[in-house]
Amino acid sequence: MSRRVRRRRTIVVAGVLVVAIAAGGYALTRPSEADADPPAGSATTPAAPHPTESSPSETSTSDPSPSRPAASPAPTEASRRCDAPEVTAAIERGSDAEVIAAFGGGEEFRHAVAAGEAPCIDLHRAGRTWVVVNKRNALEPEDYWPVPQARPAAPRIVSGGGWLRADVAAALDGLAAEAAGDGMGRLGIDSAFRPYDFQVGLYNRYVASRGQQAADLRSARPGHSEHQTGLAVDVVACGANGCGSHDDFRGTPQARWLAENAWRFGFIVRYEQDRTETTGYAWEPWHLRYIGTDLARAYRDGGFSTLEEFFGLPAAPTYVD
């Protein structure tokens, strides 16, 4: 072959390579409209992409042999617990007692939640007995309204409507009856379920009279109150001359009896003495919180004094905002 023919072929090949490289460089520097993200805030803004079988791996090589399918990840302790049929069925039925039993009991349930092994358990959901509401955790939804509700018959209704979640009202009746039978006198209900709108007004009155810093030690901001769950009740001591106040409750036989026996009926004293740095509230021996008998037994047997520590949550002394 003559030198002139070889030179011509070399020029043609070089020209093709230049065009190919130029086209490739353009494709690398200008993504197609199909691959570009839509404007932020548009209705079609995509979620984080998931890898597909046809997507090339970042670590792929030029080996033409077909790749083996990736092995399924080994189930974790968390997935094993939450994927158990008895757990999923109990959660779907909305039976808190059955969910706790499916985990193996109160202490087993508590340990799983505190250890991060129970992602199916949401401590924010207002309708659940195990809900934790404090200055860091707002209720979901914040205007939750418990149903069904009932009024306890044994305690005296001192103020407010006295309404509680129906199962809590029944438990409080049993507690009040046994306290009276043990010679503790009659208990009175000073505050029970509070709707969101009521909590707004109550908190604003505290702020107006005491200032916000003092108000935050005695009253929860709307959406952060246990009273909105229907699981909390403030009690006072009643006698022949009527019923006392919150401040009178400290040191009474009723207060001592509750501290020792409330757990047997599913209640705990939510805000104990010298735990403000964890709970965010001053000591309230009158404030009972229902968590059910299984969890209350685990709470008492474990020597816990705050729900935050019970479930392995961070302290909540102040609001996050």
Q: Does domain 141-293 have CATH number 3.40.50.460?
A: no
Q: Pick the residue with more confidence: 9 or 94?
A: 94
Of 290, 314, 296, 238, which Cα lies nearest the Cα of 131?
Answer: 290
- pLDDT per residue as tens digits for the range 118-177: 999 999 999 999 999 999 999 999 999 999 999 999 999 999 899 999 999 999 999 999
Residue 67: pLDDT band with limits 50, 70, 90: very low
Which DSSP helix (H) or strand (E) runs through 209?
helix 196-210
Backbone angles phi, psi at 92, to 5 degrees: -65, -35
Residue 15: pLDDT band with limits 50, 70, 90: very low
Is residue 259 within 8 Å of 179, Cβ to Cβ? no
Q: Flag whether pLDDT at 51 surpasses 70.
A: no
pLDDT the model gives residue 128: 96
Query: pTM for the whole thing?
Result: 0.75
Hey, is 288 helix, strand or coil? Answer: strand
Q: Flag whether pLDDT at 98 surpasses 50.
A: yes
- pLDDT per residue as tens digits for the range 198-229: 999 999 999 999 999 999 988 999 999 999 99
CA atoms within a 13 Å half-sphere pointing along the CA-CB vector of 275: 17
Q: How far apart are CA 248 and CA 183, in angstroms?
A: 18
Hey, is 236 helix, strand or coil? Answer: strand
pLDDT the model gives residue 78: 54
pLDDT the model gives residue 321: 74
In the chain, domain spans: 141-293
Q: How far apart are CA 321 and CA 316, in angstroms?
A: 12
pLDDT the model gives residue 217: 87
Question: What are the counts of helices (DSSP H) followed by strands (DSSP E) for the chain?
Answer: 13, 8
Q: Flag whether pLDDT at 271 surpasses 80.
A: yes
Q: How far apart are CA 294 and CA 98, in angstroms?
A: 11
Cis bond upstream, residue 141 (ω within 30)? yes
The pLDDT of 7-33, averaged and rounded, is 36
The pLDDT of 51-60, averaged and rounded, is 33
Q: How far apart are CA 120 and CA 157, in angstroms?
A: 38
Of 148, 127, 146, 124, which Cα lies nearest the Cα of 136?
Answer: 124
Residue 261: pLDDT band with limits 50, 70, 90: very high
Residue 79: pLDDT band with limits 50, 70, 90: low
Radius of gyration of the chain from its Cα atoms, rounded to whole angstroms: 31
Q: Determine what percent of the chain is predicted with pLDDT higher than 70.
A: 75
